[in-house]
């Protein structure tokens, strides 16, 4: 498994589990999750997706 795949898998599973926590999370925890995801989103511009 390549490092990229490991990162991808970790990200997907981490995302799933972190979202599963949101229902029981405090407002501060939700805010932190929201800000982290939003910061990452701003780096992930679809214009960078190359044509295949």
Partner 1 sequence: MLKVFKNDYRLHGMLMLIATFFVMGIIGCANLTPKKQLTTYYGLYNSQYVQYMTKTGWAMDETGVWKKVDDPVLTEEERIILRKKKKILTEMYPLVKLYDEMVLGTKPFSAKTEQDLLNLVDQLSKLVPG
Q: Applying CB under 8 A, which residues contact partner 1?
A: 1-2, 4-5, 7-9, 11-13, 15-16, 18-20, 22-23, 30, 33-34, 37-38, 40-41, 43-46, 48-52
CB of 39 to partner 1, least distance (A): 9
CB of 44 to partner 1, least distance (A): 4
CB of 9 to partner 1, least distance (A): 6
Q: Which of 25, 36, 37, 17 is nearest to 9 (CA)?
A: 17
Look at the block and give the residue holding tokens 């898998």: 9
């Amino acid at each position: 498994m390549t490092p990229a795949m490991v990162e991808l898998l970790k990200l997907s599973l981490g995302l799933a589990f972190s979202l599963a926590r949101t229902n029981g999370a405090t407002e501060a925890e939700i805010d932190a999750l929201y800000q982290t995801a939003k910061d990452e989103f701003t780096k992930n511009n679809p214009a960078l997706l190359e044509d295949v």
